[in-house]
Amino acid sequence: MDIDFRLFDCDNHYYEATDAFTRHVEPGFEKRTMQWGLIDGKTRFLVGGRINRFIPNPTFDPVSKPGALDEYFRGRNPKGQGTAELFGQLEPISPAYRDRDARLALMDRQQIEGAIFLPTLGVGMEQALIHDPPALCAAFRAFNRWMDDDWGFSYKERIFAAPVIPFADPGNAVRELEWALAHDARFILLLPGPIVTHGVGHSPADTVYDPFWARANEAGVTIVYHGGDSRYSSYLADWGENSETEAFRQNPFRALASSSAIQDTFSNLLAHHLYQRFPNLRMAAVETGSDWVFHLFEKLKKSWGQTPFAYPEDPRDTFRRHVWVSPFYEDELGKLRDLLGSDRLLMGSDFPQAEGLAEPSTYLKDLKNFAFSDADCRIIMRDNGVALSNRRPA
């Protein structure tokens, strides 16, 4: 694509090294967190002593070609092919998927100035250890230190890997945030949904987490909510479905079910006035699509009309001030612009994953299909992400 500016991609991924969770594991947690094992002649990934199937091949070698499922996620599969056929021929893992300097060279060819770097395996691990909060927190302390080793949180002001902080232990969340800030993190990754430990649920806006939000607010770091396995997966068991999330092995009901962890997360934060308590918070919703935004706004409009006394202001205005959305490239981008404004949209290619774009710059074509101006394309594909990558201290 002919673009006269360098991109800022808000949804880039790495493929985790095989020791991502084990290199820095703390003594005593080895068997309670992540391990590799040879079972029935196959290399298996064990989480809490159980085989984990979130990623079909967690070694990522071989791996799918970038964008292999592009047409499928645009709703087009005229031959009715299964997932294995759609993936096509797998290929040896590229050094750029695991080495940051090789990735920078690739980014140069892709005309990418900077990007948020996000986990592939890591976004599916929280629920696998939610029954053991100390092990869950230890696993992600180890993971974040591997991430800092291999990718860095602001490497050459271009690669912005986002450390993952579970809320299972409020005190640990604050300590891990302080550590991440000391290592120049610009983005912090959270997973949507309620926090349920030992059978007791909490809102992320519960005051027990106020010390975390207060520090994030003070530092001006951007919070990223990214799609992944969430508490909502367990609700599928009530319908007789398998509650274990397995990437690319979803049955139709999982895709059709109306529950939305990301929609309910932002509903909850708004209902509990998190942004009024911490007015400097900036958040981005990444790889969660944008259909939920329209549903959320319909509900917010009605709730505001019925109970205006329950909100400090119209909650839609609060959302627009604090939240940026990275829509799927196949979404109704024009309608989302009309609802939120171009200054609240983020380009995310999901590169190099199969469901993403083979070439991140082709996101421009999808914007142009909805008559976005050249100026708006630059705002969405560069300026908004660059602004969020710079801390905005209170």
CA atoms within 13 Å, Cβ hemisphere of 265: 24
| pLDDT value at residue 247 | 60
Q: For the chain, what percent of residues have pLDDT higher than 70?
A: 94
Domain that holds residue 21: 7-389
Say if 394 falls within a structural domain: no
* CA distances (Å), origin 288, targets 103, 149, 228, 314, 327: 24, 28, 9, 24, 7
245 — pLDDT class (breaks 50, 70, 90): low
Say if 310 falls within a structural domain: yes
Q: 159 - beta bridge partners?
A: 115, 155
pLDDT at 250 over 80: no
pTM of the model: 0.94
pLDDT at 249 over 60: no
Say if 1 falls within a structural domain: no
Residue 277 and residue 204 in contact, taking contact as beta carbons nearer than 8 Å: no
Considering its fold, how many domains does the chain have in total? 1
| 21 Cβ neighbours under 8 A, 6+ residues apart | 33, 34, 125, 139, 142, 143, 146
In DSSP notation, 107-151 reads HHHHTEEEEEEE-SSGGGSTGGGTT-HHHHHHHHHHHHHHHHHHT
Say if 368 falls within a structural domain: yes
Structure-model confidence comparison of residues 77 and 280, the more confident one? 280
For residue 231, report the phi and psi dihedrals to the nearest 5 degrees: -55, -30
| pLDDT value at residue 88 | 87
Which residue, chain included where needed, has tokens 């990418």? 112
Q: Are strands 282-286 and 222-226 parallel, antiparallel or unpaired?
A: parallel
Residue 7 and residue 347 in contact, taking contact as beta carbons nearer than 8 Å: yes
Which residue, chain included where needed, has tokens 């992320």? 204
| pLDDT value at residue 104 | 98
Residue 231 and residue 127 in contact, taking contact as beta carbons nearer than 8 Å: yes
Give the lowest-confidence range in 21-35, 61-75, 167-181, 325-339.
61-75
Say if 45 falls within a structural domain: yes
Cα 194 from Cα 202, distance rounded (Å)? 6
pLDDT in tens, 328-361: 999 999 999 999 999 999 999 999 999 999 999 9
Say if 2 falls within a structural domain: no
Which residue, chain included where needed, has tokens 């319908």? 239
Three-state SS string across 226-274, please?
Answer: ECCCCCHHHHHHHHCCCCCCCCCCCCHHHHHCCCCHHHHHHHHHHHCCH
- The CATH number of the domain where 364 resides is what? 3.20.20.140
118 — pLDDT class (breaks 50, 70, 90): very high
- Which tokens sit at 215? 């520090």
| 147 Cβ neighbours under 8 A, 6+ residues apart | 20, 153, 161, 163
pLDDT at 32 over 70: yes
Could you give the angle at which helices 291-306 and 261-271 cross, rounded to 10 degrees?
30
- Which tokens sit at 284? 């981005």
- Which tokens sit at 297? 């706004």
| pLDDT value at residue 123 | 96
Say if 327 falls within a structural domain: yes
